[in-house]
Chain A
Amino acid sequence: DAKTTQPPSMDCAEGRAANLPCNHSTISGNEYVYWYRQIHSQGPQYIIHGLKNNETNEMASLIITEDRKSSTLILPHATLRDTAVYYCIVRDSGGYQKVTFGIGTKLQVIP
Chain B
Amino acid sequence: NAGVTQTPKFQVLKTGQSMTLQCAQDMNHNSMYWYRQDPGMGLRLIYYSASEGTTDKGEVPNGYNVSRLNKREFSLRLESAAPSQTSVYFCASTGLRTYEQYFGPGTRLTVT
Interface residues of A, Cβ cutoff 8 Å to B: 32, 34, 36, 41-46, 49, 87, 91, 93-104
- 8 chain-A/chain-B pairs, Cβ below 8 angstroms: A32-B99, A44-B90, A96-B51, A97-B99, A98-B59, A99-B101, A100-B59, A101-B43
Contacts of B100 in A (CB 8 A): 34, 46, 49
Q: Does B2 contact A (CB under 8 A)?
A: no
Please classify the interface of chain A as helix (H, G, I), strand (E, B), loop, or mixed, using the class held by over half of its residues. loop
Contacts of A91 in B (CB 8 A): 99
Indicate if the CB atoms of A43 and B50 lie closer than 8 Å: no
Per-position binary interface string of chain B over residues 97-112, scored 1 when its CB falls under 8 Å from any chain A CB and 0 otherwise: 0111111111010000
Cα of A94 to Cα of B31 in the assembled complex, Å: 10
Interface residues of B, Cβ cutoff 8 Å to A: 4, 30-31, 33, 35, 40-45, 48-51, 58-59, 88, 90, 92, 94, 96, 98-106, 108
Contacts of B48 in A (CB 8 A): 96, 98
Contacts of B104 in A (CB 8 A): 43
Indicate if the CB atoms of A101 and B35 lie closer than 8 Å: yes
Indicate if the CB atoms of A45 and B103 lie closer than 8 Å: yes
Indicate if the CB atoms of B101 and A98 lie closer than 8 Å: no
Indicate if the CB atoms of A42 and B105 lie closer than 8 Å: yes
Q: Which 4 A-B pairs have the closest CB atoms?
A: A43-B103, A96-B50, A101-B43, A46-B100
CB-CB nearest in chain A for B88: A41
CB-CB nearest in chain B for A35: B100
Indicate if the CB atoms of A36 and B101 lie closer than 8 Å: yes
Contacts of A34 in B (CB 8 A): 100
Question: Which of the residues B42, B43, B99 comes within 8 Å of A95, measured between beta carbons?
Answer: B99
Q: Give, as a whole number of angstroms, the nearest-CB distance from B41 to chain A.
A: 6
Q: Give, as a whole number of angstroms, the nearest-CB distance from A88 to chain B.
A: 11
Q: Give, as a whole number of angstroms, the nearest-CB distance from B51 to chain A.
A: 7
Q: Give, as a whole number of angstroms, the nearest-CB distance from A43 to chain B.
A: 3
Contacts of B102 in A (CB 8 A): 46
